[in-house]
Amino acid sequence: MSSLDTEIAVVGGGPAGLFAAISAAKNGSVTHLYESKSCIGKYEHCSGLLSIDGLNRLGLSDLPQEMVQNCSIIGSRLFSPSGINITVQKSSTTAWVVDRSKFNQHLSRLAEEKGVVIHTNSKVTSIKRDNNKIKLSLGKKSPIKNVTSPLLILAEGRFPHLNQQIGLPSPSYGEVVFTTQYIMSGVKNIDLKYVEVYQTPEFAPGFFAWIIPISEDEAKVGLGSRSRPTGKYLRHFITKHPIAKHKLSSASIEKQMSGAIPIGSFIRKTYTDNIMVVGDAAGQIKPTTGGGVILGGLAAIKAGEMAAEALQTGNYSARFLSNYEKYWKKEMRSNLTIMKLVRQYLNSLNEKELERLFELLSTQKRKEKISKIGDVDNQKKIVFKLLLDLRFLPFVAKTGVKFLIKTKRKKVI
């Protein structure tokens, strides 16, 4: 078979593409998904830390336990460069750590149950518009060479190639953090209930380092940085960081992965005639933490619904599909914008200023406030609450001016 016609074509078999396909098929559309790799979930380039609330919103409250590596997370331990530790926590489980390969494979099973046809080894190399339809050309490995479809959802992930072919923007390459993550065994002194986050410009410039426990002595240990090689930064963190080295320096590396996170926030436009863009390819990812599964997934579900509705009404116009963007912008634009500012602001602080920030945050009252109001998927609430705290004012005023000057000179990320 070298040509195929479908009602909805989805490019990319990551979570965003899979959620979009599931939702389109659920709403009655013939949906085909194209994934360039030889299988879904081939590489696990993610920590798989997902909020319970987010999973519920994605309709995944009954995630099979075999893919859940840790279901005990109640909070985070945030470390300043010198080791001031702020613990923020809820009274019950707030997040699960999942095996991202198994998670993607689970989504692909759900998609197939809904009737989605998944084509692996199927890299989409180019797209063209032809008579109110989209024509996809596929790469050498694919038995299908061309696909024609009135509706297309693009979910290529962090470095999309197809967005620009139809005149849509891509996440800015200049605003990306590079990451390396190890799965380590023999890790000491970790607590299954807490994710550890190390905000330290010396070890992780432009982002942070993390230890995410998956058993009493195993953890996902990773680091994001705006410069490379991140493997070198991660080894430096493991062997030299004053706190982390006592937990990690005698641990063994079981698995290694690397990836990139676009932290420049959402792209300017995510739809055009016949086409919508979802997930990392649309910059639907939190610039503060790099979490993209929940937000990208929620937007993708809406894109799938809109595509199905467009088919039913025979209206594939940009005007009609703009409802997709209206939805996701209403849900997350202000949050993503604030998270981007927070990320840029944090990156503008030097070690001394970060220490001061941690000192200010580490009073009992503030820790309680952050624990109570903090929400990993909706961070604007806590940011506003803290900004209203008068004791922050002199610090924010001083560092804020410096931040504004740096932002003007584009020297923040």
Ligand X SMILES: Cc1cc2nc3c(=O)[nH]c(=O)nc-3n(C[C@H](O)[C@H](O)[C@H](O)COP(=O)(O)OP(=O)(O)OC[C@H]3O[C@@H](n4cnc5c(N)ncnc54)[C@H](O)[C@@H]3O)c2cc1C
Q: Is residue 378 within the footprint of ligand X (CB under 6 A)?
A: no
Contact partners, residue 17, CB within 8 Å, separation at least 6: 10, 11, 33, 35, 153, 155, 278, 279, 300
Q: Is residue 156 within the footprint of ligand X (CB under 6 A)?
A: yes
Residues 7, 152 contacting (CB under 8 angstroms): no
Exposed / middle / buried, residue 70 (Cβ in 10 Å: 0-12, 13-18, 19+)? buried
Instruction: Please work out, in degrees rounded to the nearest 5, the angle formed at the alpha carbon of residue 101 by the alpha carbons of 148 and 209.
Output: 115
| Nearer to ligand X among residue 219 and residue 357 (C-beta) | 219
Q: Is residue 124 within the footprint of ligand X (CB under 6 A)?
A: yes
| Nearer to ligand X among residue 43 and residue 384 (C-beta) | 43
CB neighbours of residue 222 within 10 Å: 27
State the chain's maximal CA–CA distance in angstroms: 68
Among 14, 201, 206, 213, binds ligand X (CB under 6 A): 14
| Nearer to ligand X among residue 11 and residue 63 (C-beta) | 11
Which amino acid makes up residue 65? Q
Closest CA to 262 of 336, 319, 323, 373: 336
Minimum CB separation of residue 56 from ligand X in Å reads: 14
Q: Is residue 264 within the footprint of ligand X (CB under 6 A)?
A: no
Q: Is residue 292 within the footprint of ligand X (CB under 6 A)?
A: yes
Q: Is residue 305 within the footprint of ligand X (CB under 6 A)?
A: no
Among 287, 296, 304, 374, binds ligand X (CB under 6 A): 296
Among 21, 46, 310, 412, binds ligand X (CB under 6 A): 46
Among 24, 55, 86, 155, binds ligand X (CB under 6 A): 155
Q: Is residue 157 within the footprint of ligand X (CB under 6 A)?
A: yes
The residue behind tokens 């420049």 is 264
Minimum CB separation of residue 21 from ligand X in Å reads: 11
Q: Is residue 287 within the footprint of ligand X (CB under 6 A)?
A: no
What is d(CA 248, CA 238) in angstroms, rounded to the nearest whole number? 6
Return residues touching ligand X (CB under 6 A).
11-17, 34-37, 45-50, 123-124, 155-158, 161-162, 179, 181, 222, 259-261, 279-281, 285, 290-294, 296
